[in-house]
Structure 1
Amino acid sequence: MSEYFIAVIIGIVEGLTEYLPISSTGHMILVGNMIGFTGEKASVFEVFIQLGAILAVLILYRDKFMDMLRPEKLKLVNYKENGLSLIHVMAAIVPVMGIGYILHKPIKNHLFSTNTVIIGLLLGSIVMLAAEKFAKQHLIDDIDKITVKQAFLVGLFQILSLWPGFSRSGSTISGGLLLGMSRKSAAEFSFIIAVPLMGVACLYDFLKIWKLLSISDLKFFAAGFAVAFVVAYFSIIWLIRFLNKSSLASFAIYRFILAGVSYYYFFIR
Structure 2
Amino acid sequence: MTFLNILILAIIQGLAELLPVSSSAHVIMAEKILGLDPSAPDMTLLLVMLHTGTMFAVIVHFWRSWRETYFSSTAAFKHNALRIILATMMTGIVGLILLHLIKKFYASDASTFEIESLFSNSKLIASGLVAAGILIIVSSRIKESHSKELSLFQSMTIGIVQGLCLPFRGFSRSGATISTGLSLGVARKTAEEFSFALAVVLTPVVIIKEFVRVYQNGPTAYPAGMLSSILLPSLLGMVFSFIAGLLALRWLAGWLEHGKWHLFGGYCIFAACVVLWIG
TM-score, shorter chain, exceeding 0.5: yes
CA gap 1:99/1:116 in 2 versus in 1, 3 angstroms? same
Q: Which residue of 1 aligns with 2:152?
A: 148
Q: CA RMSD in A?
A: 2.3
| 1:40 to 2:40 alignment | yes
| 1:161 to 2:165 alignment | yes
Which of 121, 141, 146 is 1:139 aligned to? 146
CA gap 1:40/1:182 in 2 versus in 1, 3 angstroms? same
Q: Distance in 2 between matches of 1:73 and 1:61?
A: 20
Q: Which residue of 2 aligns with 1:88?
A: 83
2:240 counterpart letter in structure 1: V
2:54 counterpart letter in structure 1: A
Which string of whole-angstrom CA distances, capped at 9 and with x for unpartnered residues, describes residues 91-113 of structure 1? 22222223335628653222443
Q: Which runs of 5+ in 2 are unaligned?
A: 101-112
Q: Which residue of 2 aligns with 1:7?
A: 6
Task: Tell me, yes or no, if the aligned pair for 1:73 and 1:86 is still in contact at 8 Å.
Answer: no
1:121 counterpart letter in structure 2: L
Which string of whole-angstrom CA distances, capped at 9 and with x for unpartnered residues, describes residues 144-163 of structure 1? x2223211111112123221
CA gap 1:248/1:242 in 2 versus in 1, 3 angstroms? closer
Secondary structure of residue in 2 paired with 1:61: helix
Q: Which runs of 5+ in 1 are unaligned?
A: none
Task: Tell me, yes or no, if the aligned pair for 1:21 and 1:168 is still in contact at 8 Å.
Answer: yes
Task: Tell me, yes or no, if the aligned pair for 1:50 and 1:225 is still in contact at 8 Å.
Answer: yes
Q: Which residue of 1 aligns with 2:109?
A: none
2:178 counterpart letter in structure 1: I
Q: Which residue of 1 aligns with 2:130?
A: 122
Q: Which residue of 1 aligns with 2:106?
A: none
Q: Which residue of 2 aligns with 1:110?
A: 118
1:185 counterpart letter in structure 2: T
Q: How many residues align?
A: 254
Please give the residue correspondences for 1:215-234 in structure 2 after superposition, counting only pairs within 5 Å. Answer: 215-234=228-247
Task: Tell me, yes or no, if the aligned pair for 2:22 and 2:171 is still in contact at 8 Å.
Answer: yes
- Select between 108-117 and 43-52 the one with higher mean Cα deviation: 108-117
Task: Tell me, yes or no, if the aligned pair for 2:95 and 2:164 is still in contact at 8 Å.
Answer: no
Q: Distance in 1 between matches of 2:81 and 2:64?
A: 14
Residue 70 of structure 1: how far off its partner (Å): 7.4
Which string of whole-angstrom CA distances, capped at 9 and with x for unpartnered residues, describes residues 43-102 of structure 1? 332122101000011112224555646782488xxx44xxxx222211222222233356
Please give the residue correspondences for 1:198-209 in structure 2 after superposition, counting only pairs within 5 Å. Answer: 198-209=203-214
Q: Distance in 2 between matches of 1:70 and 1:253?
A: 37
| 1:100 to 2:95 alignment | yes
1:138 counterpart letter in structure 2: S
Identity score, percent: 26
1:6 counterpart letter in structure 2: N
CA gap 1:64/1:132 in 2 versus in 1, 3 angstroms? closer
Residue 34 of structure 1: how far off its partner (Å): 1.1
Task: Tell me, yes or no, if the aligned pair for 2:140 and 2:259 is still in contact at 8 Å.
Answer: no
